């Protein structure tokens, strides 16, 4: 899924490439994408690289991972500090093994994202198993949208694509627009390839209110740090005081929508499993911060199950908790 409130990255019916996901009740959704989608094919080099077999791309990723780990380390101090604090029981050998696996997995995800430009729907669904969709459909059958919250675990971009193919309902994906215009254009093209409707995160609440009666899934990734000016919830996360963005909780409180956590784990190289797990009922009465606390606990549990699959090179803990909170 796209970043923070990205949609980055989520199958029973497979729409053809480039067609929008059908709306509940049959017929195409009448709502256009919230953000204009780029016209035309991907860049020539994206098409060229994505035409290579995934096995070849994974071999290239292995070289990149070796270079990133041994020759030109990417943020080695950040990775080491984050892992050391999150997993204080790791000895030097264990820390090194997790670090190596992190670079290897991250390199795989990079080439897999590029491969998305040419990946056939049937191949994607052979590589990404999706479970628990009946729980999402039960929520949508009530006539109201459902929130899908995920984390930056494994290949969240393939998560979005797999959900787009299998949900049998409209899927809106919140995302943080990229600064670089070229990267923004190419990522929007990839993310919307199987019908996901992309909504810039700052516009999400207004968009939800405008379309509040359309049953659909609304996907977001909210495990990264909010900016200083945003509303936030403080909790202990991976052995640190950590701020979480309150946007998803505020949306659930204002709309009464239920929420499911979309868990992703690696089952092999280039293979993943997705599980949709309810964690907040529609109109459930929760204390302030409880929704976000539940989300943080599910994200942390997922990370501890497979430490290498989370982005440890990200500077997640730049904010400091105020003394009075």
Mean pLDDT in consecutive groups of 10 residues from the start of the chain, 325 residues: 43 33 33 58 90 98 96 95 98 97 98 97 98 96 96 98 97 93 92 96 92 94 91 96 96 95 98 97 96 98 98 96 80
Residue 278 φ/ψ, nearest 5 degrees? -65, 140
Q: Give me the pLDDT at residue 34, please.
A: 52
Residue with the two structure tokens 């009075």? 324
Strand partners, 277: 261
Q: Give me the pLDDT at residue 212, please.
A: 87
Residue 52 CA: distances (Å) to CA of 47, 116, 158, 188, 296: 9, 11, 18, 22, 38
Closest C-alpha to 131, from 155, 167, 168: 167
Map out the domains of the chain as residue ranges: 125-309
Helix axis angle, 181-191 relative to 156-166, nearest 10°?
40
**Residue 121: how many CB atoms within 10 A of its CB?**
19
Q: Give me the pLDDT at residue 289, please.
A: 97
- Cβ distance 2 to 8 under 8 Å? yes
């Amino acid at each position: 899924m796209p970043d923070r409130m990205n949609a980055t990255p989520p199958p029973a019916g497979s729409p053809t490439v480039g067609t929008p996901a059908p709306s509940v009740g049959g017929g195409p959704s009448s709502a256009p994408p919230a953000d204009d989608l780029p016209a035309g094919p991907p860049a020539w080099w994206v098409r060229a690289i994505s035409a290579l077999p995934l096995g070849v791309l994974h071999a290239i990723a292995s070289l990149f991972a070796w270079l990133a780990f041994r020759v030109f380390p990417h943020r080695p101090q950040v990775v080491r500090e984050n892992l050391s604090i999150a997993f204080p029981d790791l000895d030097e050998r264990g820390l090194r093994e997790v670090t190596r696996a992190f670079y290897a997995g991250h390199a795989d995800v990079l080439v897999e994202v590029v491969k998305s430009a040419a990946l056939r729907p049937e191949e994607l669904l052979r590589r990404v198993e999706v479970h628990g969709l009946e729980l999402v459909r039960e929520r949508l059958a009530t006539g109201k949208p459902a929130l899908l919250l995920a984390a930056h675990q494994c290949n969240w971009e393939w998560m979005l694509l797999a959900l787009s193919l299998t949900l049998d309902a409209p899927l809106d994906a919140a995302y943080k627009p990229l600064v670089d215009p070229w990267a923004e254009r190419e990522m929007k093209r990839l993310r919307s390839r199987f019908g996901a409707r992309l909504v810039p995160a700052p516009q999400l609440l207004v968009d939800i209110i405008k379309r509040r009666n359309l049953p659909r899934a609304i996907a977001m990734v909210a495990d990264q740090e909010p900016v200083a000016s945003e509303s936030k919830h403080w909790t202990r996360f991976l052995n640190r005081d950590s701020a979480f963005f309150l946007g998803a909780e505020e949306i659930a409180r204002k709309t009464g929508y239920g929420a499911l956590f979309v868990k992703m784990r690696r089952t092999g190289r280039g293979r993943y499993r997705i599980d949709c797990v309810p964690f907040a009922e529609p109109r459930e009465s929760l204390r302030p911060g409880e929704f976000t606390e539940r989300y943080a606990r599910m994200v942390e549990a997922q990370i501890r199950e497979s430490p290498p699959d989370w982005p440890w090179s990200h500077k997640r803990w730049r904010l400091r908790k105020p003394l009075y909170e």
